Amino acid sequence: MEQKDKYIRFDWAIKRLLRNKANFGVLEGFLTVLLGENIHIIEILESEGNQQREDDKFNRVDIKARNSKDEIILVEVQNTRELYYLERILYGVAKTITEHIDLGEIYSNVKKVYSISILYFDIGQGRDYLYHGQNTFLGVHTGDHLKVTTKEQGAIVRKLPAEIFPEYFLIRVNEFNKVAVTPLEEWMEYLKTGCIRPDTKAPGLEEARKKLVYYNMDTAEKLAYDRHIDAVMIQNDVLSTAKLEGQEEGRQLGFRQGIEQGIEQGIEQEKMVTARKLKSLNIPVGTIMEVTGLSSEEIERL
């Protein structure tokens, strides 16, 4: 790969570079493509949930941003599997909501929250690479969407619950296997491969081509980045090996169980054949039960 084509992985960029106001254009472009509306980041918010720590090497890289509509956007990159991941993102959203409203404030001050998870592990079954979840209230009998009445700037307006409740995006990077045509697909290509097309016009990626060039980092930054990539690769190798070993162990266990089950079924079949022959010879049921171990009901059914 030519030097000009080597770009910093998004998980590292979001941790080290995109928190800088000068690089907001990359993050804004990504969010604009994902959410389908122009996003302008006002500031990166700090809280207990997105502090950089030494132990976050593999599992989480968070940005907590406030946009021009005073909404909160959580972006998290997850490199390795976490058993209760959905519960954790729910907790993170709930905590964000409570962090941004003070005790005694009116509920209209509750912030809309977007939770965006960029996942490099298999979270479960599904054929798509992008999943979106939001709250809707449907009539049980009518199927219509409920609109709630609220008050804004002295006027009574109607809103869909989805305009108020949190929204969740799960981006399954490893499931993307298409030729990139749309801006979203170009972003998926970058998230998966680290490659950005020279002629890209996708919002944020043009900016990324200027700001996220590997060879623009100083020596210390390059070393830290290379160590991070090595650590991620080692972690993934460990997990892949564990998965393969688990699958092989499962196959061996299944093979043994299959043999045992087959033997048991063969023995039962042999008992039935023996009992049927003895019954045809008018051998007493009690004797057949003693010879075969079958119950009187089983023998009667033969």
The strand pair at 167-172 and 113-119 is best described as parallel
Rounded distance, CA 53 to CA 154, Å?
Answer: 45
List per-residue pLDDT tens for the chain, 302 residues long.
343 457 888 888 887 788 888 889 999 999 999 999 999 999 988 755 455 554 444 445 478 999 999 999 999 988 777 778 899 899 999 999 988 887 778 887 888 999 999 998 888 888 999 999 998 899 999 999 898 887 776 677 778 888 889 999 999 998 999 889 999 999 999 999 888 988 899 999 988 888 888 777 778 777 877 777 776 666 666 555 655 666 666 666 666 666 666 667 667 777 777 778 777 777 778 777 776 777 888 888 88
The Cα-based distances of 91 to 76, 96, 185 in angstroms read: 14, 8, 30
- Residue 118 confidence (pLDDT): 93
What's 108's DSSP letter?
G
Instruction: Return all residues near 105 (Cβ < 8 A) that are at least 6 apart.
Output: none
Enclosing H/E stretch for 296: helix 296-300
Rounded distance, CA 129 to CA 189, Å?
Answer: 11
- Residue 55 confidence (pLDDT): 47
- Residue 4 confidence (pLDDT): 42
189-197 LR contacts (CB < 8 Å, sep 24+): 190/7, 190/10, 191/10, 191/118, 194/6, 194/7, 194/8, 194/9, 195/5, 195/7, 196/5, 196/7
Instruction: Return all residues near 136 (Cβ < 8 A) that are at least 6 apart.
Output: 145, 160, 161, 162
Q: What are the start-end ranges of the E strands in 2-139?
A: 41-44, 61-67, 72-78, 113-119, 130-134
- Residue 242 confidence (pLDDT): 53
**Cα four-point dihedral sign 158, 161, 162, 166:** positive
Q: Give the residues across from 157 on adjacent strands.
A: 150
- Residue 81 confidence (pLDDT): 73
